[in-house]
Each structure stands twice: as C-alpha cells, then as structure tokens.
Amino acid sequence: MTGRLLVTGASGFLGQVIVEQALADKRFSHVIACDRVHSSRTDPKLSQIVCGIDEPALRDAATDVDVIIHLAAMLGGAAEADQTTARRVNLDATLALIDACRPGTRFVFASSLAALGNSTDDRAPVMVYGAHKAMVELAIESATRRGEIDGISLRPGGIVARAVTDASLKSAFLSRLFWAFADGTDITLPVAPNAQTWLASVRNVATNFIHGATASDLGGCRSVTLPMIRCRFDHLVAALRESHPQSNISVKYAPQADIMRLFGQAQDLSFKDAITAGFKADKDLPSLIHDALQFGEIR
C-alpha cells in the first residue's frame, strides 16, 4: 500500500486525470486534492483543500501524507510577465512545501522541458519559468541525497488535448488543433508545416506521474525527461484527418518566430534514464490522438 496521496493543482488539466487514476488505484488509501477552486468530484477516498500553494493549509497537509504529486505552478507566459509572483509561487512556495514533508515522503514534481532550454539533457533554461523549474530540480536531488525526501522531477513535453485552453498559454494552439478536428472548426497554426514538436497524451502523462508516485525503485537519476512522440505538424494534421474522416476543416499555417522557437524545433532529447525507471511514451500517434481527446474532456 502506497498510502495517502496529496495532489496540488488537482483541478487543472493534468491534475484531474491524475486524481481520477489515483482514486481507482488501490495502492492509494486516500487522495487529498488541493487547488484554489473546489471540485464537484466526490468519492469516499477523496478530500479537498481549497487554498493557494503558498498557504499554511497546504504545508500542514504535507506533514500527514506518504506521497505528494506537485503540479501547481504559474505557467510560462504568465511567469515571464510577473517574475516576482512567479518566484513566490514556483520557487519559494515549492521549496517550503518540500521542507514541510516528513522524511521519506515520495515527492513527484512536475518540471518542464523549459528547464533544459535548447539542450538535449542538461539544464540550460532560457526563461524565468524554466530557471525556477531547474532550481527546484536541483533542490529535490539534494534533498533526496540527504534522505529528507524520496523525490523525482518529471519533465513532460506538449500535453494534449486540453478542451478549454488558456489564452495566456503559448502552447494552447497544440490542443486547439486536436479539438478543431473533433469540433469541425477551421484553424490557423502559428508554425510551419515542417516544424516538429514533442507530444504526449494527458492520459500517458498522468500514468507516468502515478508510476513516479508508486514505483519501488526509481533509480539514481532523479530529474528525467518523460518519453514522448516527436512529429512534424503536417504529419500530425494528416493523422488527425485519418482519425476524423468526416472532418473537412481547413488547416492553414502562419509561422510566428517566437512560437516556432519554443514549439517548432523539437530538439533531440534523451529518455534513457526515464525508460530505465519504467516511464513510457504513448504507443503511437493514433493512440496518442485517441487518448488526448478522450481524456482531455475531463473537467
């Protein structure tokens, strides 16, 4: 029995799927979902805390659980626009949460490819958001070496397909492309047809986080890039057309330099340590499309 699980950012896109999987998993005796908004979900195994990441209620909860999956964050574009708040939320509050854990707590941190910047496997962030993620990765590695926690940082790529996209997210067009086919809506993409991106379905990423929370042996590397699928946008569009034969939507391309730089280059990545630790990618592109749309509908 893994025991009691605390999930921060539990009402978010990824958080909802993780909570759903955790409630169905007998290894968790109880799930505490923390977010700034109350969820309508009910379950005998579920309790909720409504608070911000920097509030005492969350740190108090951390002292009485066996596992923490920490998703809550101020995301990329918003973090760049308000760097003071980003530091308080993404760095200071996260470090305080780690300090609140009792010894041996499994701490699974949602990092980001932004921690790598343009590197294959080394931390070289180019944005404030990525710098904060990299700092927390280092803190988790250090705390794990000292035996204070049993931590791991997981770096997902483009997680799809969020049904309701936040306009402040520069990556929102990735999910909008999937739902454009499902809803029959024309779309213009801010990338070139031959641009490449890394993708994973929300179901796959949630399953990997549950694995990070429950695996008995995560190995020695405690900051890993989750396995994912690299594809060209024109190939992705073709696969979406094949999976939606009834759809005749128009897909146009209008490349924007900043979006191409962030989401159209798909640098080489190393998944060796993640695969060794038991993490997996989506089976193939058709499976990714199916799971992205099916599980992206969860509210």
Residue 184 is assigned to a structural domain of this protein: no
State the total domains in the chain.
Answer: 1
Residue 65 is assigned to a structural domain of this protein: yes
Average pLDDT over every residue of 216-223 = 91
- Determine the straight-line distance between the first and last CA of the chain, rounded to whole angstroms: 28
Give CA–CA dist 176/188, Å, rounded.
10
Q: Cite the beta strand spans of 173-294 per DSSP E.
A: 187-189, 196-201, 223-225, 229-232, 251-253
Both structure tokens of 149: 């926690």
Other CB atoms within a 10 A radius of the CB of residue 167 amount to 7
Residue 181 is assigned to a structural domain of this protein: no
Q: How confident is the model at residue 186 (pLDDT cuts 50, 70, 90)?
A: very high
Query: Using H for helix, E for strand and C for coil, what is the string for 81-117?
Result: HCHHHHHHHHHHHHHHHHHHCCCCEEEEEECCHHHCC
Whether residue 79 has a cis bond before it, omega within 30° of 0: no
Residue 165 is assigned to a structural domain of this protein: no
Residue 174 is assigned to a structural domain of this protein: no
Residue 257 is assigned to a structural domain of this protein: no
Give the residue numbers spanning the domain of 217: 3-156+200-227+268-282
Give the range among 172-176, 190-194, 280-284 with minimum mean pLDDT. Answer: 172-176
Both structure tokens of 9: 């950012």
Residue 292 is assigned to a structural domain of this protein: no
Query: What is the value of pTM for the model shown?
Result: 0.93
Tell me the CATH number at 76. 3.40.50.720
Residue 186 is assigned to a structural domain of this protein: no
CA distance readout (Å), 50 to 1, 11, 57:
27, 10, 9
42-54 per-position pLDDT tens digit: 999 999 999 999 9
Residue 1 clears pLDDT 60, i.e. is over it: no
Give me the phi and psi of 23, to 5 degrees please. Answer: -65, -30
Average pLDDT over every residue of 121-137 = 91
